[in-house]
Amino acid sequence: MAAEHGDQLIGIARSIRVWQEQQRPAVSDNQMIRRFPALGSDKTYRKLRNGDLESLNPSQHLPKYRGVWAAIEALIGAAAAEQIYEDLQPALETNLAAGSLIPQRGKKRLLIIEGPSGAGKTESLKLIAARFTGLVVQVEAHEGWRSAAGALRDILLAVDPRKKREDLPSSTADLMDATIMALGEGNHVLTIDEGHHMGAPVLNVLKTLLNRTRCHIIVAAIGTLWRKLAARSWEEARQLVFNRLHDRVILGPPSQTDVELFLSRRIPSLNGGDWRRAVPVIADHAGRSGNYAFLRDLSDRANQSDEEPAATDLIRWASELKALHER
């Protein structure tokens, strides 16, 4: 069994190394270890990928390396399925903010990501989850989050998936105590998508969790709705914004650089340079009609063509999509 664990561990370490060497810009060993602490020390990571198990316990390291590889596979899968690119502006901004948030140990452990629909909020949360593997607990707010109890049930089940919804406490106070106990002393990162669904009582839930646990909280929301919520629940929002907020990232429409990067990767038939003349028009349409979601739709339309799209084709399709969006 020990030999089998050793072979598996070495194989995973080498797969991780292959992925590391494929990254552009290049990722150093130190950067890998900061990104995936479960790799252990630089020496451990180097020995394992070189097939050296001397003085190492494979059974101890194997679960950790499996976790790292699972996170990398999730990142690869998400990028393939959703066309998530780490070098686009939403990912760069949110990754920078999250990297600054996680080491915080004081009161200010809340990060808010704002942006319109299609601006990359959900995709950015997925990248954060993949980056901080083992730390992130993901939940999505919904209409049931108008109440504290509704939010706490979802958070508790996400933190401790072994629990069953029907066995959870009925009172808000007991739910809060159970959630705090589940979070314990761990350095969890709670990510909340669709945060604009939160009611005023849930703002107090977040404040209490920040006060009574070591967790960090990242909320992604449509900016206008979040501001409306803050205006209606000023006292609760004031406590969070002024006393607990580490940073606030506001995502905007795709830049022309992002448009060019996105389309060049998503549409394989774009080989020449003529199509780039369409980028300014497409960027303008995207900013008014769905942002990165608009670019995904445009890419899908272009990939239906049997020939390499010209700039005029891309502009025509973009105009058609914009007209559909405005109906």
Q: Which token pair is 27? A: 């990722």
Phi, psi of 233 (to 5 degrees): -125, 55
Cα dist. 256→8, 115, 251, 267, 277 in Å?
45, 18, 15, 16, 11
Q: ∠ CA 299-284-293 to the nearest 5 degrees?
A: 40
d(CA 285, CA 233): 35
d(CA 227, CA 173): 28
- Write out pLDDT tens, residues 143-181: 899 899 999 999 999 998 888 888 899 999 999 999 999
- Write out pLDDT tens, residues 251-272: 999 999 999 999 998 888 887 7
Question: Is residue 305 within 8 Å of residue 313, measured between CB atoms?
Answer: yes
- Write out pLDDT tens, residues 32-70: 888 888 899 999 999 999 999 988 998 889 989 999 998
- Above 90 in pLDDT, residue 279? yes
Phi, psi of 160 (to 5 degrees): -130, 85
| Percent of the chain residues topping a pLDDT of 90 | 49
- Above 70 in pLDDT, residue 230? no
Task: Tell me which fold the domain 89-250 belongs to.
Answer: Rossmann fold (3.40.50)
User: Omega into 25 within 30° of 0, i.e. cis?
Assistant: yes
Global pTM value: 0.72
Cα dist. 225→41, 184, 222, 262, 325 in Å?
44, 32, 6, 28, 21
Mean pLDDT of 13-19: 90
d(CA 274, CA 230): 47
Q: Which residues contact 34 (CB under 8 A, 6 or more apart)?
A: none
d(CA 75, CA 71): 6
190 DSSP β-pair partners:
137, 217
d(CA 89, CA 109): 23
Question: Per-residue confidence at 1, pLDDT binned at 50, 70, 90?
Answer: low
Alpha-helical runs (H) found in 83-220: 89-101, 121-131, 148-159, 172-183, 200-212
Question: Per-residue confidence at 73, pLDDT binned at 50, 70, 90?
Answer: confident
d(CA 276, CA 219): 35
- Above 80 in pLDDT, residue 12? yes
Question: Per-residue confidence at 84, pLDDT binned at 50, 70, 90?
Answer: low
Question: Is residue 95 within 8 Å of residue 35, measured between CB atoms?
Answer: no
